[in-house]
Amino acid sequence: MTVHRSGASPDFDRIARPYRWLEYLTFGHALQRCRTHYLRRLLDRKQALVLGDGDGRFLAALLAASPRLRADAVDTSAAMLRLLTRRAHAATPDASQRLRTHHTSALTFTPPHPCDLIATHFFLDCLTQPELEQLCRRVMPNLAPQALWVISDFRIPPSGPMRWAARALVCALYLGFRLLTGLRTTALPDHAAALTAAGLIRIAHHHSLAGILITELWQLNPRTPEPESLLERGHETNTNFSG
């Protein structure tokens, strides 16, 4: 296990154990539905890089659904990694052979193998725009051809009645995480700009919780580099209050 600590890093160990229940109390199962929305489209992947997965609910589902996949999980929180490891072992009997955890920063971690999947669920919102661009520069040389990057995050709708409600919610979340963990980030980064600049193309997206949550699937050099199909676009952008 690689260890990296920065004095300025937020401390998510403080909320590791209650995090799942805090999430359920505030959002129900909406965030977990975001994490697993595109799970079926990831089952042909062989090597995953999972960044900031918290207590590991997404990774456990991915390992259980894709028995040939191996994964590297990266987190600055040792407590979160312990929960993630425990959940992965409960989900699949061969987790010890398929999962490696790294107690380090995603901004300094170099993947040990070319990966064909990156997963960042509710993690990029912890980064500033320069940090996100640094992350892209760090991981891009280690992506396999046609690699996928799946993202879930909060979103402020560009217009409509939910715009101000989303703004207030995001501000409240950042304030809460600053008080609980010391997180210094105060605004959502523009991940679409960073991933597009890095050479990835968005191939699918899904809005939920009145447009406040988004799940996206990006790909490096897709075999048919066309915009999302009209059929999928019409389905994925519909507001879905149930998640």
Quote the mean pLDDT of the chain.
89
The answer on pLDDT for 47 being more than 90 is yes
Higher pLDDT, 29 or 236: 29
Q: Token match 């409509």: residue?
A: 160
Collapse the DSSP code of 227 into the 3-class scheme (helix H, G, I; strand E, B; otherwise coil) and give the result. coil
Query: CA 209 from chain center: how many Å?
Result: 17
Which pTM was predicted?
0.88
pLDDT in tens, 216-234: 999 998 876 555 543 344 3
The answer on pLDDT for 5 being more than 50 is no
pLDDT of residue 222: 86
Do residues 52 and 75 lie in contact, with contact meaning Cβ atoms separated by under 8 Å? yes
Residues 205-219: what's their mean pLDDT? 97
- CA 145 to CA 116: how far, in whole Å? 7
pLDDT in tens, 75-89: 999 999 999 999 999
pLDDT in tens, 21-46: 999 999 999 999 999 999 999 999 99
> Helix 57-65 to helix 78-91 angle, to the nearest 10 degrees?
30
